[in-house]
């Protein structure tokens, strides 16, 4: 049971963080010089990653994270509260990115810039969450 929930949590974290790295290092540079398909592709890829990433994997990361908290640590401790706090910042940034900036980016340079910087902030904070997971694992 313990290993199953930790496994699930790590797979979801891999999808979430790996998906963002894939988007920024593979998809974005590929579409950069393709004005004919760029806007449509960004919207389509964004919509799918929003569904599987923001709405499904973040939700399941919360559930599996809470289960890990109880199964592996018997409850909350300071470092887990800090992780939870940062997690809700990621949720807020993701919602602003997907439902506001990303949607309007098609017609507005201003929103496109917001979408880019919110995406970068999300990747950095999500990497911090992985680091915090490792610290919790090590009992720090
Ligand atoms: C974007 C969100 C998250 C990411 C990317 C993430 C990432 C990770 C990773 C990679 C690990 C494995 C660390 C290791 O085994 O060395 C981990 C473990 C863990 N995470 Fe998360 N996590 C997220 C959200 C959460 C949330 C919301 C909670 C709940 C408060 C949580 C609680 C835990 C706990 C308790 C562990 C187990 C530590 C241990 O093995 O002792 N995580 N996390």
In eight-state DSSP terms, residue 107 is: T
The answer to whether residues 71 and 1 touch, using CB atoms and an 8 Å cutoff, is yes
Tens digits of per-residue pLDDT, 34-93? 989 998 999 999 999 999 999 999 999 999 999 999 999 999 999 999 999 999 999 999
Residue 139 has pLDDT above 90, yes or no: no
Atom index in ligand 1 nearest the CA of residue 13 equals 5
Task: State whether the beta carbon of 65 lies less than 6 angstroms from ligand 1.
Answer: yes
The answer to whether residues 9 and 61 touch, using CB atoms and an 8 Å cutoff, is yes
**Which residue's alpha carbon is nearest to atom 33 within ligand 1?**
65
Q: How many structural domains are present in the chain?
A: 1
Print the domain residue range for 121. Answer: 2-137
Q: Which pTM was predicted?
A: 0.94
What DSSP element (H or E) covers 67? helix 58-73
- Give the contacts of 121 (CB within 8 A, at least 6 positions apart): 93
Tens digits of per-residue pLDDT, 4-46? 999 999 999 999 999 999 999 999 999 989 989 998 999 999 9
The answer to whether residues 123 and 22 touch, using CB atoms and an 8 Å cutoff, is no
Neighbours of 47 (CB within 10 A): 13
**Which residue's alpha carbon is nearest to atom 7 within ligand 1?**
130
Task: State whether the beta carbon of 122 lies less than 6 angstroms from ligand 1.
Answer: no
Q: Supply angle C-alpha 124, 12, 8, rounded to 5.
A: 140
């Amino acid at each position: 049971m313990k290993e199953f929930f930790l496994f699930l949590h790590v797979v979801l974290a891999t999808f979430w963080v790996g998906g963002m790295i894939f988007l920024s290092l593979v998809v974005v540079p590929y579409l950069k010089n393709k004005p004919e398909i760029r806007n449509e592709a960004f919207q389509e890829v964004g919509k799918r990653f929003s569904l599987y990433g923001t709405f499904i994997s973040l939700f399941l990361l919360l559930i599996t994270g809470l289960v890990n908290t109880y199964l592996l640590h018997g409850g909350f401790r300071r470092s887990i509260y800090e992780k939870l706090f940062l997690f809700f910042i990621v949720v807020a940034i993701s919602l602003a990115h997907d439902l506001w900036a990303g949607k309007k980016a098609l017609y507005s340079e201003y929103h496109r810039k917001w979408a880019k910087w919110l995406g970068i902030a999300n990747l950095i904070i999500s990497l911090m969450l992985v680091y915090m997971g490792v610290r919790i694992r090590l009992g720090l």
